[in-house]
Amino acid sequence: MGAAFGLPHAVTYFYNVYGPGERASATGTLIEIFRQKHEQGEALPVVSPGTRRRKFTHVDDIVDALVLLMTAGVGEFPIGAPADYSVLEVASMFGGPVQMLPEREGNRRASSLDASAIRSLGWRPHQTLVSYIAQIKRRMAA
């Protein structure tokens, strides 16, 4: 829309955002679904074969990128953390039992991301999925 009116604009794409305030639902985020299942002592549902890889980006890092783009960004900006994890790797970070679900047709094997445009503006993620899950588990243990 911005181009049609000659206005500068940025288009963003977010990759598997996680963080405080998430809600789990049938279409909710993997991290929140796993968090709730883990807290309830239930098995973590993993779609077979569990090897699909995803990049997970903390909401605070997304907000930092959006604030940066408000003043410096024109163009397309995929925003995502560089590390990727398989669904089984994420389940193992939480620990506990895993329930393997039937494979779903059409599910991507991996997500690709070229975040060089946002990185060229100086953005770097500060949060990691590993530390976020560790914080969840510490809170539960306390």
Write out pLDDT tens, residues 33-85: 999 999 999 999 999 999 999 999 999 999 999 999 988 878 899 999 999 99
List residues bridging with 110 in a β-sheet: 53
- Return the number of other C-beta atoms located less than 10 Å from residue 86's C-beta: 17
Q: How confident is the model at residue 142 (pLDDT cuts 50, 70, 90)?
A: confident
pLDDT number for residue 107 = 66
- Return the number of other C-beta atoms located less than 10 Å from residue 47's C-beta: 14
CA–CA distance, 15 with 115 (Å, rounded to integer): 10
- Retrieve residue 117's tokens: 């445009």
Task: Evaluate whether 128 touches 56 at the Cβ level (below 8 Å).
Answer: no
The class of domain 10-141 in CATH terms is alpha beta
Range with the poorest average pLDDT among 87-91, 96-100, 101-105, 106-110: 106-110
DSSP 103: P
Closest by alpha carbon to 108, among 132, 86, 131?
86
